[in-house]
Amino acid sequence: MTTPCIICVAITGSLPTKSNNPAVPITVAEQIESTHAAFEAGASIAHCHVRDDQGQPTSDPDRFAALKAGIESHCPGMIVQLSTGGRSGAGNARGGMLPLSPDMASLSVGSNNFPTRVYENPPDLVDWLAGEMIAHEVKPEIEAFDLSHIFQAAKMHADGRIKDRPYVQFVMGVKNAMPVDREVFDFYIHTVKRLFGADAPWCAAG
């Protein structure tokens, strides 16, 4: 017997460049084409970042709108998840695409260290992003870089800042944050099930 799973593909991310790999899709047209290939191969969620004309991360809502429209046209039924990550902008600009009402959007509910910087998610910004997701009926994907983020998501759910049961993604392998470790991974899954129910949805990224 096989166990079905949902494949979420991050087509571009916020770091890779053409100099790292010429195949990295940078333009919106390249991203749509690459997403369609992943969709044809079985992916059902597209985690989307966009880039500016120099290939740098941006939160430009117009580029997100073009990418979202292209994916919806060429990949019918695929879940579109837009990134509100901190490498792409600062402050409320990180949520400028949420009025597009994508199916989902990433939500980091706490700060942590990255290898060369602090990934800042101050409480007022987290609350604003969460409120925008409620206002525009966007399902948040809780990006958990550390154990405390799972407990913070539980607190936000309990007091109504996150609607419905949280969908948690374990972001593993970022230096200074959650390690790639099987026992740690099992404990995180146990924690999500304890806080949100035995059938609580979760996923893992590495």
Q: What pLDDT was estimated at residue 22?
A: 93
CATH assignment of 103-206, among 3.20.20.70, 3.40.50.2000, 3.20.20.450, 3.50.50.60: 3.20.20.70
Model-level pTM greater than 0.85? yes
Residue 1 has a pLDDT of 53
54/75 Cα distance (integer angstroms): 27
CB burial of 123-161 (b: ≥16 within 10 Å; e: otherwise) equals: eebbebbbebbeeeebbbbbbbbbeebbebbbebbeeeb
What is the residue extent of each domain of the chain? 1-80, 103-206
pLDDT band at residue 206 under the 50/70/90 scheme: low
Residue pLDDT, tens place only, 87-108:
777 889 999 999 999 999 999 9
Express as a percent the part of the chain with pLDDT over 70.
99
Torsion of CA 81, 44, 179, 156, to 10 degrees: 40
